[in-house]
Amino acid sequence: DQGGISPNDVMKEFKETTERDEFLAREILDLEKSAQSLTNLIQDLEEKLDTMFGDGISKINKQFKEFFALMFGGGEASLNVIREKKRKKGPSAEEMAEMGIESLPEEGEEETELGVDIQVNLPRKKIKSLEMLSGGERALTSIALLFAISQVNPPPFIILDETDAALDEANSRRYGDMIENLSKYSQLIVVTHNRETMSRAKVLYGVTIGADGGSK
């Protein structure tokens, strides 16, 4: 017994410390296993998402080509996945000040961003890119793409709110053909002022504004 500490106290403290050390070792082992399990799960999910994304793009492309050809009386359109390298954004000046950093190297790390590019081939025209289309043609292409996306997993119903507002008479007929095709898979509720679109409706509701400003 030296300094008031008995051998029993030392053994007790040694035993407690040993048990604590063994407990922490087991905890670390469990954490390492969990970390590895999560890493494997993330890898599996990334592979699954990549596969689902690729399959989704293929399905959209199939529908997109059909709707595009219907809208333009021929031609082809497709979605292409593109990868763009962008320089990573560094922390803001305020964040650097909080971290005690005065400046960062000019060259930052590059990161890859996924995106989609639309390629079009209009009938009887040498047009290959979306930028070369007129406003009306872009509107038709956008509508065809939206309809194509909706048909990958058709919803019970779709609400279209004046999506035909910018279309001329010829394009309105094509739009009418498209919504008739779409109605085979989903019930459509269409808000429109277009007579061609209204002529395709199975049930038509008229809305007017009275003197009090309320819709009836």
Q: Which long-range contacts (CB under 8 A, 24 or more apart) does 208-214 make?
A: none
pLDDT by position in tens, the chain (length 216): 455 667 777 888 888 889 899 999 999 999 999 999 999 999 999 999 888 888 888 999 999 998 888 888 888 888 888 887 766 665 666 666 666 665 555 555 566 777 888 888 888 777 667 778 877 788 888 888 988 988 888 889 899 998 888 888 888 888 888 888 888 889 999 999 999 999 999 999 998 888 888 888
User: Could you give the angle at the alpha carbon of 53 between the alpha carbons of 140 and 190, nearest 5°?
Assistant: 35
What b/e string do you get for 132-147 counting C-beta neighbours within 10 Å, with b at 16 or more?
ebeeebbbbbebbbeb
pLDDT tens-digit series, residues 150-179 = 888 888 989 999 888 888 888 888 888 888
pTM of the model: 0.62
